């Protein structure tokens, strides 16, 4: 009975007091100008530089991951599992694809992708590794993938609804990193 009373006490707002879903005409007019901003229009909000910085740190992470996987691919070649050595190359190429997609989005947002080798390891979330033992390589890669998963998850949460295109891109990359971590975990158990 109580629930029924609660429900009946809620009265709809009179029509005139309801908030309307209305577009911002001034912002649409502003989008007709500032053509140098390309894909970035007034509704983007004040987050552009912050998001470009987060994307550049992720770009550094992907580039370090390419280098680590390449190093492991070439040096694991003669070790116990040639199949895993081949898979390191597959991962290296996928991380390289991630780096390209991040760089493209940075440019689309009006930023500059930072490929500077001098600061790469400082900016990267994940570490380089030159282990010579196959198990140690797999472990280093699993740690790096888990770091990437955690940082992409945090960045996606920070972006929220501030930039849907970047969020979708990062969600896509995140699911690849989760696939990589799954594979590495299986190899570590073998």
Q: With respect to Fe ion, which residue has the nearer C-beta, 52 or 102? A: 102
Which residues, 50 to 89, sit near Fe ion by CB under 5 A? Answer: 62
| Angle, helices 48-76/164-189, rounded to nearest 10 degrees | 30
Cβ proximity to Fe ion, 44 vs 128, nearer residue = 128
Asked if 95 touches Fe ion (CB under 5 A), the answer is yes
Judged by CB under 5 A, does residue 105 bind Fe ion? no
User: According to CB under 5 A, which residues from 132 to 151 bind Fe ion?
Assistant: 145
The residue (of 114 and 145) whose beta carbon lies closer to Fe ion is 145
Q: In the complex, what is the shortest distance from the CB of residue 66 to Fe ion, in angstroms, rounded to a whole number? A: 9
Span interacting with Fe ion, options 38-46, 75-83, 98-106, 123-131, rule CB under 5 A? 98-106
Shortest Å distance, C-beta 62 to Fe ion: 5
The least distance separating Fe ion from the CB of residue 109, rounded to whole angstroms, comes to: 19
Q: Compare residues 95 and 163 and give the one whose CB is closer to Fe ion.
A: 95
**Whole-number Å distance between alpha carbons of 178 and 145:** 7
d(CA 73, CA 94): 13
Give me the least distance between CB of 3 and Fe ion, in Å please: 50
- Does position 180 interact with Fe ion (CB under 5 A)? The reply is yes
Q: Are the beta carbons of 129 and 140 closer than 8 angstroms? A: yes
Whether residue 105 contacts residue 165, with contact meaning beta carbons closer than 8 Å, is answered with yes
Task: Write down the least CB distance from residue 65 to Fe ion, Å.
Answer: 6
Establish if 129 lies at the interface with Fe ion (CB under 5 A). no
Binding of residue 98 to Fe ion (CB under 5 A): yes
Q: Looking at beta carbons only, is 18 or 66 nearer to Fe ion? A: 66
Residues interacting with Fe ion, by CB under 5 A? 62, 95, 98, 145, 177, 180
């Amino acid at each position: 009975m109580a629930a029924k009373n609660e429900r009946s006490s809620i009265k709809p707002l009179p029509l005139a007091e309801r908030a309307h879903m209305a577009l911002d005409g001034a912002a649409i007019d502003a989008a007709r100008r500032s053509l140098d901003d390309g894909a970035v229009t007034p509704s983007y909000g004040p987050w552009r530089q912050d998001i470009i910085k987060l994307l550049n740190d992720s770009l550094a992470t992907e580039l370090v991951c390419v280098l680590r996987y390449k190093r492991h691919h070439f040096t694991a070649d003669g070790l116990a599992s040639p199949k895993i050595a081949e898979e390191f190359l597959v991962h290296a190429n996928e991380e390289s694809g991630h780096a390209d997609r991040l760089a493209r989005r940075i440019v689309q947002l009006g930023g500059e992708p930072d490929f500077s080798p001098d600061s790469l390891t400082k900016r990267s979330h994940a570490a380089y590794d030159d282990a010579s033992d196959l198990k140690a390589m797999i472990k280093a890669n699993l740690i790096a993938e888990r770091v990437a998963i955690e940082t992409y998850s945090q960045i996606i949460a920070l972006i929220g609804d501030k930039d849907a295109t970047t969020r979708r891109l990062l969600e896509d990359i995140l699911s690849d990193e989760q696939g990589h971590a799954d594979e590495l975990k299986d190899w570590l158990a073998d």
